[in-house]
Structure 1
Amino acid sequence: MQQAVESPRQELFRRLNMAPGGVGVLLEMRRRLLRGLAEHPHWTSIETDLAHLFRSWFNRGFLVLQRIDWRTSALVLEKLIQYEAVHEIQGWHDLRRRLQADRRCYAFFHPTLPDEPVIFIEVALTRGMSAKVQPLLALDSPVVDPASADCAIFYSITNPQEGLRGISFGNLLIKQVAEDLGREFPRVKTFATLSPIPGFRKWLAGGTGLREGDPRHAELAALLAKLDVQDWFKDKARAAEILKQLGRLCAYYLLYAKQDDEPLDAVARFHLGNGARLERLNWLGDTSATGMRRSAGLMVNYLYRLDDLEHNHEAYAREHRIIASRRFGVLARDSLLTRGGAPRRTVTA
């Protein structure tokens, strides 16, 4: 039966996998296939066969969790600098700060790719839940005694292998890292992310569903014009007015902007699918050029309560229900999109 339904390509791929460097060749093949699917849709079956095999070859039983520190091989450290996708590492001094006593970096490795991180996560050990990323990234930030920390902030997760796109490791990595940190630092009871909201500005500009002639459309256009003013956030009075509107709209975006019952925001899909809770919105959490361009500086904390992850995951997977703190619901109900008692709705972009 298996021979009847399985593509002969899979046997070929298995034999290639046994050759020295075979896994790397197959990963590169799938990377190229993924990039060319739009132009060559007939490649889909080949890509599907590779994805099927990778899910088996890269399951948790084969992955090895390693802590990365300053004693890790220079080859792997160089790749961290090269691959980091969330907050660019500005050279060796920057990397060294991210590996000091109050920081942790962990990665999954596969036995056939010993010098290639499959996925890696960067963690800051802090007192209290961090609201701003710049202090975490500052080279001159003071090193905190990790034994005094009560919170672990996951501030960057990078999947560097494009050939493994769509094959999830992040939930396994976060859970194991949280468990390991809890054993090493018994005072750490809070595990949370400090996450970007990469699609928020784009959605504001064209995905809300408001039409010309609707007074709210004009109000939103006025808000977008204010965001286009350079360094608007440095004027405290102006920033307070803008952020009040932005926070409500962003809460609405994270809770109700969806496509096919899934959150429009890719980062939200990832963490909510893992069973995390949408916990807190942070004004001016990322004032870098990228942060301002993508989300007007807003960031969000997703809370990982280990005892609640399974329940939250089931609610999300089966009912498309987002578990969020009460504050998010209050903010979203007060946004201009729900003004006048209008029912909350799902926005498809």
Structure 2
Amino acid sequence: MSTLHPSSSSVPVPSHSRVLRLWRRLLGSTDSPGSLHAEPEPALASSKTWKNIRQCLQASAAQAGGETAARERVAQLLAFYQQAHDADKRQFFQVLEDEYRTDDAKVRECIRQYLEASDAAAQRKAEMALDQSLESPRWHILRQFNLVPHGIDSLVRMRADLLQLTSTPSSGAGKEGKNVASAGWPGVDQDLFRLFSLWFDAGFLELSRIGWGSPASLLEKVIRYEAVHEIKSWNDLRNRLDSDRRCYAFFHGRMPEEPLIFVEVALVQQVAASVQTLLDEAEPTQDPGTATTAIFYSISNAQQGLRGVSMGEFLIKRVVEQLMHEFPQLQTFATLSPVPGFNRWLQGRWNEPEYRASQPKAIQKLLADTTVPEATKAIQQWLQPQAPIARHALAALQEWLQGECAWYLLHEKRQQHPLDAVARFHFSNGASLHRINWLADTSANGLRQSCGLMVNYLYQLDEIDDNHRHYAENGQLKASPEVRKLLQTALVRRK
């Protein structure tokens, strides 16, 4: 359907010797940072290098000198960090965590003054002092990174490193005698998150459409960052960017070449029930001017370092506005969404004898007639195209799985929020659960995470605000009569 897209032009990479010279010039050290891929993990940088880094951090925390001095310090810190091995990165985070936290004694004193304030003026003054005391020296250090080019995106990558290193065991203690990888660095993470929540507010983000004519470097990032349905080839990508398809992304002015989050949309005639059909390159291209339905079938967060920063809900709303402006005939806005936690939940329940005994005898027999001990893996075997399963048994399996999926999405909660992360996202945005689709994703991943089930969340524009309010106030989830019927069947089995 399409030809291969030309690859992006190559970018010169500085030689290893030039990197070492820059390292020594910026840090005043004659020590080499070592091989970037040495095994086992190299030891920390020299004590002289770390002395320079500590001095730099101290001056940044004190906000000594003017903006020029601050820029130079940030450049030094970045030069150090970008060439650092994991051991030095852990130590860097640990120093920020331990030595640049808020002053507990000062915070307590500010709280005391606030509580003992004798009038409104004294209370406002104490409130301002308390607010300032809660800003850690670490916050002031990190905030200065926006003074240099690529400082913000460097911080985003730094938080991605922090999250990754938090889940990765350390190979040992650092030179200064501390085990620097035990429980992560929650203070550093929280300060980075607070900064990003301010810097990446929806008002600062630019919505742009990504098309086949976009730069090759950007298209390669879409392929790399796609997190829901793998893009298998340039032809696959071109199909997703055809005239009856749309891809929109949020960008930040300080990270113009990096998509932050993007959504893929299909312009079709009805609510889709199969992602394989949507992504089939052999399907004829439709005239988008005749489409009545927009299907959001993939939303990918492109930056691991921005985990938890709210952007997805704003992206959907902005894209709906854009589509309505371009295609006023659109009447329905829905998703074709995965149910990523369903198999894990179902296997956990099946392991409980009481639950297993309450399920239909046909299902118990079907899952017993296999050499695979795990229930969900046995189901995946029965769902293979050549599996020797009778039609009535397959129909029973379908009814059971769809009913259990309805129960999982609408009843399994953590506090008042759905256990399933995708459901939580869409319900909190004001969507309703429209339909549970059988064998909607027959890929290996689709079968592995939800036995091939996918769901449609419906965004009815005149109901979004009410749905959001009911969810926020009491956790109420709206679902169609079709889904409620499936839920009722699952409820009867539990009595």
User: Do Structure 1 and Structure 2 share a fold, with TM-score over 0.5?
Assistant: yes
Structure 1 residue aligned with 2:153? 24
Structure 2 residue aligned with 1:79? 221
- 3-state SS of paired residue (1:229): helix
Pair member with larger Rg: 2
* Contact 2:313-2:429 within 8 A present in 1 as well: yes
* Contact 2:349-2:355 within 8 A present in 1 as well: no
Cα distance in 1 for residues equivalent to 2:390 and 2:324: 39
- 3-state SS of paired residue (2:201): coil
Structure 2 residue aligned with 1:187? 329
- Structure 1 residue 338: Cα displacement: 3.7
Q: 1:118 to 1:17 in 2, by over 3 A?
A: same
Structure 2 residue aligned with 1:97? 239
1:334 aligns with 2:489: yes
Cα distance in 1 for residues equivalent to 2:345 and 2:360: 16
**Match of 1:313, as an amino acid?**
H
**Match of 2:322, as an amino acid?**
D
- Structure 1 residue 42: Cα displacement: 5.5
Structure 2 residue aligned with 1:249? 404
1:306 aligns with 2:461: yes
- Structure 1 residue 159: Cα displacement: 0.2
Cα distance in 1 for residues equivalent to 2:427 and 2:390: 33
Q: Which moved more, 1:211-220 or 1:265-274?
A: 211-220
**Match of 1:35, as an amino acid?**
Q
Number of residue pairs aligned between Structure 1 and Structure 2: 340
Structure 2 residue aligned with 1:10? 139
* Contact 1:232-1:239 within 8 A present in 2 as well: no
- Candidates 149, 152, 172, aligned match of 2:294: 152
- Structure 1 residue 209: Cα displacement: 8.1
- 3-state SS of paired residue (1:207): helix
- Candidates 253, 266, 284, aligned match of 1:124: 266
Cα distance in 1 for residues equivalent to 2:306 and 2:465: 25
- Candidates 374, 381, 385, aligned match of 1:229: 381
* Contact 1:212-1:218 within 8 A present in 2 as well: no
**Match of 1:20, as an amino acid?**
P
Cα distance in 2 for residues equivalent to 1:106 and 1:43: 34
1:197 aligns with 2:352: no
* Contact 2:261-2:312 within 8 A present in 1 as well: yes
Q: Deviations over 1:5-48 (max 9, x none)?
A: 21111111111121111112111221122234455436101100
- 3-state SS of paired residue (2:456): strand
**Identical counterparts, % of pairs:** 48
Q: Deviations over 1:136-190 (max 9, x none)?
A: 1111111000011000000000001110001111110101111111111111110
Cα distance in 2 for residues equivalent to 1:207 and 1:102: 42
Q: Deviations over 1:53-109 (max 9, x none)?
A: 100000012100001111111111110011101011112111111111000000000
- Candidates 290, 293, 313, aligned match of 2:445: 290
Cα distance in 1 for residues equivalent to 2:461 and 2:183: 41
Q: Deviations over 1:263-300 (max 9, x none)?
A: 11111011111111111111111111111111111110
Cα distance in 2 for residues equivalent to 1:218 and 1:283: 19
**Match of 1:33, as an amino acid?**
L
- Structure 1 residue 320: Cα displacement: 0.9
- 3-state SS of paired residue (2:381): coil
Q: 1:326 to 1:28 in 2, by over 3 A?
A: same
TM-score (norm 1): 0.92
Cα distance in 2 for residues equivalent to 1:108 and 1:59: 11
Q: Give the RMSD, CA atoms, in angstroms.
A: 2.0
Cα distance in 2 for residues equivalent to 1:178 and 1:134: 24
- Structure 1 residue 203: Cα displacement: 1.1
* Contact 2:211-2:241 within 8 A present in 1 as well: yes
- Structure 1 residue 210: Cα displacement: 4.1
Q: 1:208 to 1:179 in 2, by over 3 A?
A: farther
* Contact 1:275-1:308 within 8 A present in 2 as well: yes
Q: 1:203 to 1:214 in 2, by over 3 A?
A: closer
- 3-state SS of paired residue (1:175): helix
Cα distance in 2 for residues equivalent to 1:213 and 1:85: 33
